[in-house]
Amino acid sequence: METKNQEEEEQLVTPWEVSAEKGGKIDYDKLIDKFGCQRLDQSLVDRVARLTGRPPHVFLRRGVFFAHRDFSDILDAYERGQKFYLYTGRGPSSEALHLGHLVPFMFTKYLQDAFKVPLVIQLTDDEKCMWKNLTVEESQRLARENAKDIIACGFDISRTFIFSDFDYVGGSFYKNMVKIAKCVTYNKVVGIFGFSGEDHIGKVSFPPVQAAPSFPSSFPHIFSSKDDLRCLIPCAIDQDPYFRMTRDVAPRIGYHKPALIESSFFPALQGETGKMSSSDPNSAIYVTDSGKDIKNKINKYAFSGGQDSVENHRKYGANLEVDIPIKYLGFFLEDDAELEHIRKEYGTGRMLTGEVKKRLIEVLTELVERHRRARAAVTEEMVDAFMAVRPLPNMFN
Amino acid sequence: MGYAKEQLLARLQELQIDFAQYEHPVVLTVEAQAKYVGHMKGALSKNLFLKDKKHRFYIVSALADMKVDLKVLSQRLGLGKGGLRMAPEEALGEILKVPLGCVTPFALVNDSARHVCLLLDQGFKSQECCFFHPLSNDMSVAINFRDLDKFLNSIGKTPAYVDLEANPPVGKDQPPDLAGLVPSDAVVLPDPSEKIASSQGLEKNHISVNNKPTATAAKAVKPSNASQKERSDSAVNLSSSFGDPEKLVEEILEKTTSIVLSEVKEENMEKYQEQLGTMVSNSIRKQLSLELKSILSMFKNTSYTEGFYAGTHRQPKRM
């Protein structure tokens, strides 16, 4: 396990902090090297398409989900007829969700539909209560509010279980937490997560909570006799430390190691070096933004890789590496051919920033509108149903 | 109909709650009340009935001499600086079912008040007992805070005691400390004098509460029919159509036919000729796939939820 104490110059990626090397971008190759996970290469993407009988998700095609651990084992087992379940989660720290928050959920929904497998979603209200110093009630409230946006991503209620830690921890889940905790020394958590003598014991004992859902016996009401079931965890790469710890523990307590499929970070509107922050509403597009807000934010704040004058732009073309609208289109424009065309035209200067932004605004507005509509369909009863401790018959059909 | 004073008193007795009652002429203010019971054992309370911009209601019940700063309270609840104001008179009758000058925590016994948030002055805890009106102004009931809690618990409300003198800073790193108490449901009254915003950006909380699918009509807010006047039509159609196959089919056909009509035109007929059919089909697939999947997922989830609710609320078979 690596130590958290980085030299000032190096990039820093932990579950609580992400920063690039001074003024630069995150170096994902270095990250993969450092963390020790694998690159998700084209052959795996093609294999997914073959096994699921449908085109791979746009995030796979564009390399948004770019790293993994043991994903090929999951695919091998799947080919042999052995299913798996999905596990993802959210730390409900603020009411407003932005597009970056939706990325792992959009991908997880695709995985659920493509492989026809069940999903558990953990809302770590206890974590936010501890780290963000929220009251218990407030964090529970936020968890429920966030659940509505998550449900709006289109998960299948007949194979999805959403739970909040404050509600669900106990019973078999807690038994697994203790089994996990017994395998991780204090020194190890300090090493992985960088805790200090000043950190309260709540933080120190939290990692098993995020690890437990990786094991099917944590959900006896769903996976009653399937202790052998594998788990696949779609998450952003900064969550890797939690699951490195979990994978280390798994064989020692007789379970499969959970597999991971990891995404890169979603860039802030102001550019890769900018930080997306909930206190700056202009650093991201929120699911509550109106068409007007989206148009305004993209036009005014989206960092452009275009040249400063039309002549220069026609001459030199745009810098696609730093252009945010192009990056966002990479995430959300489904049509590969159209994206390629835009990249070519913009890169050579034939297309102007305004046109690219206009297309992006269309794409985002449609997405946000669809989400908002789905969100409006989510009632309190629906949240209760998703969060009810109930069996999921037909979860593999 | 709202609870009457006698029913309330009977309830308190049933719950074996200790209280003292004093009859007096009708009073509309704390000062007037003080004339009759001010010398008795017990602290007088002042009770404010408030509402926020999202039509959520609050009762703030405090010791009579406590200074309640609405601006501070508004911030602490996460409603911004001017988010709280006195509720209109009609709301008193509609929601609390009490007359003017009679706001009281006891009013929460009424079903119409189930979404009202009650904030109690921490100061009550240090008093032997406090005076509240029992749903009418011609009587005052003295009750200890523990007994009041017992009553509130019996009607399914969790008592929330607040230090009303506190003025904690609210900012980026200090979330509003009382935000957890804000009711998640909003009650919309047929209020012709107030214009409810029905803009494009539909308020997410309101839609999910005010236009519930029919299976959960039991929990629906009473004036939801009236509120449809103020809401834009699309809002009403939105959520009520999610569980309705006919409406959904209509919507799907509408979208499909509009694509067909827009693509089958002169220039395309010339361009594609026999291939026009293929081209239109591809167009439909491309434009509608995601949309239709989304609509049908919502339909499935809505149906499941309705079934789940019915299942969890079913009565055991009568033997």
Q: Which of B177, B179, B238 sits opposite A376 (nearest CB)?
A: B238
Taking the alpha carbons at both ends of chain A, their separation in whole angstroms is 39
Query: How many Å apart are CA A123 and CA A132, to the nearest integer?
Result: 15
Per-residue pLDDT of chain A (397 residues; tens, 9 = 90+): 333 444 445 777 777 677 777 666 788 888 899 889 999 999 999 999 999 999 999 999 999 999 999 999 999 999 999 999 999 999 997 887 899 999 999 999 999 999 999 999 999 999 999 998 899 999 999 999 999 999 999 999 999 999 999 999 999 999 999 999 999 999 999 888 888 889 999 999 999 999 999 999 999 999 998 889 999 999 999 889 889 999 999 999 999 999 999 999 888 898 876 666 666 788 899 999 999 999 999 999 999 988 888 888 888 888 998 899 999 999 999 999 999 999 999 999 999 999 999 999 999 999 999 999 999 999 999 999 999 999 999 899 8
CA distance A333 to chain B (A): 12
Chain A residues 116-155 with a CB less than 8 Å from chain B: 132, 134-135, 137-138, 140-141, 144-145, 148, 151, 154-155
Contacts of B180 in chain A (CB under 8 A): 135, 137-138, 140-141
Mutation pick from A134, A145, A381 vs chain B, by most beta carbons of B within 10 Å, is A381
- Alpha-carbon gap, residue A42 to A46, rounded angstroms: 6
Contact A372 B202 (CB under 8 A): yes
**Its pTM surpasses 0.90:** no
What is the C-alpha separation between A98 and A368, in angstroms, rounded?
Answer: 10
What's the ipTM? 0.83
Q: Is B293 on the interface with A (CB under 8 A)?
A: yes
Tokens standing for residue A360 = 């992006």
Tokens describing residue A308? 């400063």
Cα separation, B114 vs A211, in Å, equals 39
A9 in contact with B, Cβ within 8 Å: no
Amino acid at residue number B311:
G
Structure tokens at A307: 């040249």
With CA atoms as reference, report the closest residue to A219 among A91, A87, A104, A106: A87
Q: Is B309 on the interface with A (CB under 8 A)?
A: yes
Q: List Cβ neighbours of A324 (8 Å cut-off, separation of 6 or more).
A: A267, A269, A270, A271, A302, A303, A304, A305
Nearest residue of chain B to residue A372 (CA atoms): B204
Residue ranges of B 139-198 with Cβ closer than 8 A to chain A: 172, 175, 177, 179-181, 184-185
CB contact under 8 A, A377 and B242: yes
Beta-carbon-side half-sphere exposure of residue B194 (alpha carbons within 13 Å): 16
